[in-house]
Structures are given as C-alpha cells and as structure tokens.
Structure 1
Amino acid sequence: MKEGFKVPHTLILLLSMMLVAYLATWLVPQGFFDTVTLDNGRQAVVPGTYALAEAQTRLTPMDFLVAIPRAFAAAQDVIFFVFIVGGVLAIARATGTIDALIGRLLERFGHKPNILIFMVVFCFALASGAIGTAGEYIPFVLILVGLCKAMRLDAMTAVGMVVAGYGIGYGVSAFNPFTVMVAQKVADIPVYSGIELRLAIFLPFVLIGFHHVWSYAKKVQANPELSLTKGLPCPLAGTAEANYPTLNKRHQMILFGLIAAIVTAVWGISQKGWYLYELGAVFISWGIFTTVVGQIGADRAANEFIEGVKDLASTAILVGVARGIALIMEDGQILHTLVYAMSSPLSHLGAELAAVGMFIMQTLLNLFIPSGSGQAYVTMPLMAPVGDIIGVYRQVAVLAYQFGDGFSNMIIPTNAVLMGIIGMAGVPYHLWFRFCLPLFGKLMLAASVVLVLAVTFGYGEDVQPKVETTAQIQS
C-alpha cells in the first residue's frame, strides 16, 4: 500500500456503495418480474415475465438521505440484538466469568491453538449447516478475542474462526431450513434430497477454512508485527494473563445459564420459528440470571449493560447503513433488472459453465439480497427453468445457490451479521476484506470444481421433475 494512502472508514465505504446504488437507479433500466404469493405468504417471481416498468421511478437526493434512517429501521432486529448481547456480556464480564473462562481455556488449549481453531470452525459450520445459526455467534466473539489475545494471536484470528465456520456452514449445508429447504421447495424437488453429496463435501470445505485461519494465526504467533490488526485497540485490552481468576462455582453456574440460553435459542429456532427478537429476550433472561448469581447488584449491572451497549454503537451504525444499499435498489426498481440481466446469458452456455455461472450470479446477487431465503425466492424460480433448458438439473442449481449465498456471506459488507461480528471484535472492514479475500477465492475454486463434477455425474437426475413444456427464457 502506498505511503500516504489512507483507506476510508468502513462507514464511508458503505455510504459510497449506497451512493453508487443510488446513481445506478438513474442509469439501469427499471423493470419487474410478475410475482405470486406462495402458501407461506412469501413472494416468488414468475419466470419469463420480466418487463420494463411503464412508469420510471426517479429517486431524489432527499430519497437517498431518507433511505439511511429507513435502513436503520429495516435492520432494527440485528441492531438491537447486537446491543443486547453487548450489554449482557458486559454484565457477565463484570462478574469475572468471561476472564475466568478464558483462563480455563488457556490451560487446555494454550499450547494447542490449532486444535482450538479447528474445533471452533468445525462446530460453528456444523451449527450453521444444521439449523442456520448466524447472529447467535455474536456473543462468542469477545470471548474468542480475549482468548486469542492471551495466546499471542489477534482479533482477526478470532473473527476468522467465527466467520469461516458461519460462511462454510451455510455454503455446504446439508439441511439448513432457511436456505436448502426453501430453495428445494421453490425448485420443486424433494426437501433434503441430495444430502449425500452435501455431507461428503462438508469436512473438506471446513478444512479449507481451518487451513486459512491457522496459516495466518501461525504467522502472527511467530511474529506479531505481521498481524493485520497491529496497532488497533483490542476490545478486551487490559487483562493480563497472570490475573485470570479461577473458574469457581458461581462462574460455572453463569456459564451453565449461557448454555441453557443457547439450547433454548436453538430449540426456539428449530421448533417455534424464533429469530432475533426472541433470541434477544433469551439473552436478557441470561443477563438477569447472571446479575443475581454473580451478586454484582442491580445498579452496577445497569451501568455495565449501558457501557456494553455504548461500546457497540459504531457497530450498530454500520449494520444499519449496510441495509440501505439493497433498500435503494428496491426503491429504484432495478433489483429485478439485475437478476434478469445476470440470468439471461446462462441459457447460452454449456451445462458445466452454466452451473458455475449460476454460482457466480448468486454470489453477486447476495450483495444486493443478503437474506438467504429472500434470495431463494427471487432467483430459484428463474434458475430452475434455465437449468431445464440447458441440462443443469435443479439439484445442481440449488447447490449453486447455496454456494453463492453461503460463501459470499463472509465478505459482503451488506451482510448485517458479518458487520456485527467484525464490529464486536473492533476489526475494520477493509482489513477483514484483505484477510478473507484469499479464503473466499479458495472456496470459489473448490465450489466450481464440485459443480462441474456434479453436472458431469448427473447429480440430481433422480429427483428431476418431468417438465412437459419448457419455460421461455427471454434473451
């Protein structure tokens, strides 16, 4: 990097992307697909119905400015969940539980960071792949940052463990209810079919993520000057290794309460359809439990909670602004145009190249449609008939969607969960991008190979619907 060049603040980068999206609404043709309402109430596009909008919507500068507070409102569930987690963890740290836990983990893994990194990446990938966990990882970030700091690693290593597990879990998920189930239903193939391939590729992709994080961690441990976060303030600065308290019975009870809260959250997600509002309530309950068991007093707990929230104010701002990019494109009526423009050329490619093209298209569209299920409802009704025409089975089209949605979650700044995780750890986005881009490239290459082989060996032929009439894809 040239001396004197300063990378803009993450907030400036996001606002710049919003401005680019705003300008695009004046330059990109506006249009829509027809949509239908499914049994679950969600809207899905109808393939072959794209048409230019009769009335052009021209967003004014005022519309651009109004989109910023609207984006905060649209991302309120993530923002307030981040606030709650930050406040509750501050209470837990005031009881000494977090520091005691770090000290105990150091006793077990202090000389085996490779085992710790693999376990975190593997477990987080397993959870994301099984039940679609994502924002639930935010409470673990500060614990891992403190642990890495004590092991002469850095905050980037902690974030790498969390996000690699999260993104890979979504990308190669065997039965994520928010992505695999939705996409297969929209593509009209049996839910959870083709699971054997997804299970087979799970560990190899996890090993790619582990290798990337561990390779970086080894360099930092050997030479701290190589840390990408060198010179940045640590969120848990000030705790010396020798001062870690003993993990006593009171701390163990608080940690048991955390495990109970997580188990409750997992049950609620899988059985009751809970999401961030309910999860926030669960963590508030744990905060109250921690206050009582930790015997720190109501006033101190309140002050600690507020201080924890203050520390995450900048993170909340980034999460809110990140949502504004897609909001501008929706208001400017160009989101469907981008989907149409990206999907149309696929019909002119061979099956293998088209499968990889679907993957690339889904990756790019995740920047504008960061919701996994939302992306499935917009893109899979188009990808299924395109695949029917060019010989890409629908199971392969679903796999391309999974890869595109999951892996790009690790790097796109419009992903509110990612911004919450790196914000919690105090890692600027541009530094995270430098760390993650090589990993993203490795996963893209590996996924492309899997897709080509899936087409070659007829993955999904057994569940391919018999299509009597071919949908017309506009060129």
Structure 2
Amino acid sequence: MKKNFKMPDTYIIIFFVVLFSAFLTYVVPVGSFDMHKVSYVTDSGVAKTRVVPVPGSFHFELNTKGEPLTKGVPFFAPGGNIGISNYVFEGIVSGDKWGTAVGIIAFILITGGSFGIILRTKAVEAGILHMIKKTKGSEVLLLPLVFVLFSLGGAVFGMGEEAIPFAMILIPIVVGMGYDSITGILICYISTQIGFATSWMNPFSVAIAQGVAGIPVLSGAMFRIVMWVFFTGFGVVYTMRYAKRVKENPQSSIAYESDAEFREDFNEDEQEEIPFKFGHKLVLLVLVLGMAWIIYGVVGFGYYIPEIATQFVIMGVVSGIIGVIFKLNNMCANDIAISFRKGAEELVGAAIIVGMAKGIVLVLGGTDAGNPTVLNTVLNYVAEGLHGMPAAISAWVMYIFQSCFNFFVVSGSGQAALTMPIMAPLSDLVGVPRQVAVLAFQLGDGFTNLIVPTSGILMAILGIAKIDWGKWAKYQIKFQLLLFLFGSLFVIGGVLINYQ
C-alpha cells in the first residue's frame, strides 16, 4: 500500500539544516580576513563608511601544529556560547532592535497584536464585503496594481519588513475575493523582493554594493530600470495566471486546507452581512493614514523597525478606542488588551521560526569577516575557484554563489559588505565589469529571499498565511527557477555588452 508523503514541518526542516551546518564546522577549517574602512559618497552627496574585508587577506586560523583549524561546534555550550542544542535560544536573542533576530521577533509580535485590535473591530471584514459588492468582479484589477506598487516600494526604498503588516491585511482580502493566500503572498511579498532584486536605487543593497565596489553609487540605472520593468511585468503575468487558475478551481491550491480559517471567517461575516458603519470607515481611515505615515517616515526620515513598530501600536490603540466609542463588534475597553494579546499569540510560531533560522548562521560561526568562521572559508574558496574561467561563466558563477550565500546572510547590506570587497577586485582579474559583479550580488541576494528558510521576513509572512515552509518551497521552486534563468541571462548579457 502506497503511503502519502507528508512534508516535514518547518521546525523539523530547520533542525536538520542546523545538524548539517554543525557537521560542516567539523570538516571545514575556519578563516578570516583583515578588515579596513572604506568611504563612499551616495548619489545625494552623503558620505558614508563601511568596515569591509581587505581583498586577498584571507588566512586560516592555525592549530598548535600550524595546520588549518576546524572548530566543531559542541552539542551543548554553557556560558552563552553556541552549541547545537543552543540554537533556538541563541538565535532568538541574537542581534538587536535594528534587525534579526530579536528586532524582527519583537516587530512581528507587536504588529500582530496591533492588527489583532484592528481586526477585532471588524472594520477590515466590513470593508472587504462592501468593496466586493461595489466592484462586482472587477476587483481582479487590484492584483496587478498592488503588485506593481509593492515592487516599486522594494526598488525605491528597499521595502521588506514593511510587507509583514500589509500581508495581515491583504491575505484575508484576496482569500475573501475567491483566491488563496499564495496569491496574497505574491502581491505583497514576492513583488517587494522582485523590486528589491532589480532596483536601480535601493539604499540597502545597490547603493552599498556599488560604494564598496568602488564604482559610482546608483550608476548604471537605465539597465536596471529596464530589468525592473521586465521582472515586474513577468511577476504580474505569473501572478494573474496563477490567480485565474485558483479562482476557477480553489482545490488546486496547496493552501486550500490552510486557508479554511480565512474562508470561514469571510463566510461568517458574509452571512452576518456586517453593515459598513461610520466607525468602520474611521478605523480604515486610521489604517490608510497610518500606512501613509510609515511610507513617509521610511522614505523621508529612514524609519526602520523600532519606529514602524511604534507606529503600528499607535494605529492599533487608536482603532481600539474608535471601536469602543462606536461599539464596533460590541467592543469594550478590555477587548483592546485581549485582542492585542490574541493577535500576538497567533504569530508566536512565526516569531520563533525567525530565531531558529538565525540559529543556523550562529552555528556556522556568524557573518563577521574579521573573525574565523566557516562562511569566510567558503567565500575564499569560491573566489579562488573563479580564476581562469571565461568572463561570462565567471559572472554566472558569481550569481550562483551570491544566491547560495544568501541562505546564510539574508541581510542585503550585510552580504554586500561581506562579499563585494572580494568579488569586485576579483571581477577585474577575470574580465567581469564591476557593475556586473554588483548585478550578480543584487539578483542573487534579492531573488533567493523568496525561498530560503533563513529569511525572517519570509517566515513571518508564511506564518501569517498559515503555510508551512515545505509547502511553500514546493510551490515556489518553479517560479524560483524561472527567475534564476532570466537573472542568468541578464548577468551574462551584462558581460557581453560590457555593462559599466
């Protein structure tokens, strides 16, 4: 009797990746680079500096016999050190409020709680029902519009973490419209990372990579704008074809079972025929103004995780007060606190995954190029392996390497600071224009954010959609390969036209 294969839970997948990473620490010697500070000037004239590796300075850490040293990670490590069994706790508490993991975890829980208050008012559900009745089928036009806007957000200001709260809104909406949560992820997250990967002005990837590589910051914009138009258009077409197929046959979606809760909520609301009251309109107005405030703050003042999380707290509390005043869904003052707690509780699982994924990197020794780690050794091996290859092949291998390396260093700015000081001078030796080396970095970094389980943002959004990473990877792999194919053509094409 043939047994049906059941995809392992995300926690199980990460656990086995941790075991594999621990194995690498026993067979791959650790090494480090000498570090120095480089300065560059942004397109707006602002001078910035980064501490980066010195090209050609890699050296192994040696044991007492003068041989390259391996530092196998222990099973258990006391004193706050990293061991195989410590990866969950150490991953969760690593970093700071500005990023992975603890900052992202706090951001997820706070925004989840804030949206718990907003959803308690039933304003979103009432608005969805009202919109569907008014549009009468033309709501399909919202999908490409939202996709293009989010892609533009990724290209212009590196939209990433900001997609998490939008997913809380859009995923229930598209499920209510007869699509599925995959469609919601496509328009609110896939779109941002396509924009991020093909950007001509992203301050968190392209600007830093070009500055570190020693080429004019935000140069070569026209080629990248054409690339953004192509990939965004391709993403829209792919999304619309998928959405059409799911609309015609909802059971064909891999998220059909996990979407049941969204559908039930929507059907219950539809049966109740929630009247679209003045109070609901006020809550939605708070939501719209709050989102506009966030975008204004990010673009104009560089707001990031701490500021955005606080903005959502304000939006949630104001919405709760409106709900109490107008008795929306029979709300009372205590419901504000209860709803915040329940909203945060629903995303605890996603928050823990973010910490566990960061634990993989910690087991490998971290991403500091100045400290002896396995990742530094891998980076040096790849750099040495490129010597003697034709320019177009070298550029393609750079693209493959950056795609794989993003599994370990999902931060665009972090990966740029770690790899570009090595890849930029190396590109000169193998005949690859430095602009193409930057292109290989940004495409490899951006596109793989769509599938690697070490991406805290991806795992948070999958948690919102209630989809296991294994199911997502099974769906995403086809689209991922298409993106890789087209990305390869752009990288190789950049060498052939001597893209500068």
* CA displacement 1:308-330 (0-9 Å, x = unmatched): 11111111111110111111112
Please, which of 290, 293, 301 is the counterpart of residue 264 of structure 1? 293
Letter in structure 2 aligned against 1:299: N
**1:109–1:115 contact (8 Å) kept in structure 2:** no
Superposed, which structure 2 residues align to 1:457-468 within 5 Å?
Answer: 457-460=497-500
The answer as to whether partners of 2:132 and 2:139 remain within 8 angstroms in 1 is: no
SS in 2 for 1:413: coil
- Residue 317 of structure 1 is aligned with which of 349, 352, 366? 352
Alpha-carbon shift at residue 429 of structure 1 (Å): 0.6
How far does residue 44 in structure 1 lie from its aligned partner after superposition? 0.9
* Partner Cα separation in structure 2 for residue 300 and residue 455 of structure 1: 60
CA contact (8 A) 1:170 1:406 kept: yes
Cα separation, 2, equivalents of 1:244 and 1:14: 43
Query: What's the counterpart of residue 495 of structure 2?
Result: 455
| 2:36 partner SS | strand
Q: For residues 211 and 109 of structure 1, do their structure 2 counterparts lie closer, same or farther at Cα, with a shift above 3 Å needed?
A: farther
1:179-328 matched pairs, under 5 angstroms: 179-236=205-262, 237-240=264-267, 241-243=270-272, 245-295=274-324, 296-328=331-363
Of residues 110-119 and 48-57 in structure 1, the stretch that sits farther from structure 2 once superposed is: 110-119
Q: CA deviation at 1:443?
A: 1.0
Quote the offset at 1:254 in angstroms. Answer: 2.2
- CA drift of 1:64 comes to 1.6
Which letter maps to 2:323? Answer: G
Paired with 1:3 and 1:120, the residues of 2 have a C-alpha distance of 41
Q: State the alpha-carbon separation in 2 of the partners of residues 170 and 221 from structure 1.
A: 29
Judging changes above 3 Å, is the alpha-carbon distance between structure 1 residues 107 and 345 closer, same or farther for their aligned structure 2 residues? Answer: farther
Matched, 1:69 2:96: no
Displacement of 1:246:
4.2
Q: For the Cα contact (< 8 Å) 2:175–2:259, is it kept in 1?
A: no
Equivalent pair of 1:68/1:321 in contact (CA under 8 Å): yes
Q: CA deviation at 1:136?
A: 0.9
Alignment of 1:17-36 (within 5 A): 17-36=17-36
**Is the 2:198–2:443 contact (alpha carbons within 8 Å) kept by the matching residues of 1?**
yes
State the Cα deviation string for residues 278-328 of structure 1 (Å, max 9, x = none). Answer: 111110111111112222333111001101111111111111101111111
| 8 Å contact kept, 1:220–1:227 | yes
CA contact (8 A) 1:235 1:426 kept: no
Instruction: Provide the secondary structure at the position in 2 that maps to 1:178.
Output: coil
Q: Confirm or deny: 8 A CA contact 1:102 1:244 kept in the other structure.
A: no
2:98 is matched with none
Alignment of 1:37-52 (within 5 A): 37-38=37-38, 42-52=50-60
Aligned CA distance change for structure 1 residues 29 and 145 (closer, same or farther; 3 Å): same
Partner of residue 78, structure 1 = 104
CA distance in 1, matches of 2:161, 2:261: 19
**Equivalent AA in structure 2 for residue 65 of structure 1:** S
Tell me by how many angstroms 1:232 deviates: 2.4
2:161 equivalent to 1:135: yes
Cα distance in 2 between the residues matched to 1:47 and 1:255: 53
Separation in 1, partners of 2:135, 2:204? 34
Distance 1:220 1:288 in 2: 36
Amino acid at match of 1:294: G
Secondary structure of 1:135's aligned partner: coil
Deviations 1:405-446 (A, max 9, x none): 000000100000000001111011111112211111111111
Runs of 4+ in structure 1 off by over 6 angstroms are none
Structure 1, residues 118-148: CA drift from partner, whole Å, max 9, x if none?
1122111100110011111111223222222
How far apart in 2 are the matches of 1:401 and 1:246? Answer: 51
> What is the aligned counterpart of 2:473 among 433, 445, 454?
433
Q: Distance in 1 between matches of 2:92 and 2:134?
A: 42
Identical-residue share of aligned pairs (%): 31
> How many pairs does the alignment contain?
459
Which residue, out of 439, 442, 446, partners 2:482?
442
For 1:27-81, what per-residue CA distance to the aligned partner results, in whole angstroms no more than 9, with x for missing partners? 1121112222446564311110111112433321011222321110121111111
| CA–CA separation in structure 1 for the residues paired with 2:354 and 2:260 | 20
In structure 2, the partner of 1:391 is 431
Report if aligned partners of 2:75, 2:85 keep a CA contact under 8 Å in 1.
yes
Q: Secondary structure at the match of 2:499?
A: coil
Contact 1:178 1:372 in 2 (8 A): yes
Question: What is the CA–CA distance in structure 2 between the aligned matches of 1:41 and 1:349, rounded to whole Å?
Answer: 32
Distance (Å, rounded) in 1 between the aligned partners of 2:300 and 2:27: 45
**2:309 partner letter:** G
- Displacement, 1:105? 3.5
CA distance in 2 between counterparts of 1:459 and 1:239 reads 51
SS at 2:52 equivalent: strand
Question: Within 2, Cα distance between the matches of 1:280 and 1:103?
Answer: 28
TM-score (norm 2): 0.88
TM-aligned CA deviation for residue 235 of structure 1:
4.7
Question: What's 1:382 paired with?
Answer: 422
Q: Please say if 1:419 is aligned against 2:459.
A: yes
* Structure 2: segments with no counterpart, 5+ residues: 40-47, 64-68, 77-82, 95-100, 325-330, 367-371
Task: Give matches, 1:102-181, under 5 Å.
Answer: 102-107=128-133, 111-112=137-138, 114-181=140-207
User: Per-residue deviation at 1:170?
Assistant: 0.9
C-alpha deviations, 1:84-126, integer Å up to 9, x for none?
1111111111112111222244246552454222112211110
2:402 touches 2:445 (CA, 8 Å); kept in 1?
yes
Q: Judge which range, 328-337 or 105-114, deviates more.
A: 105-114
Secondary structure at 2:384 match in 1:
helix
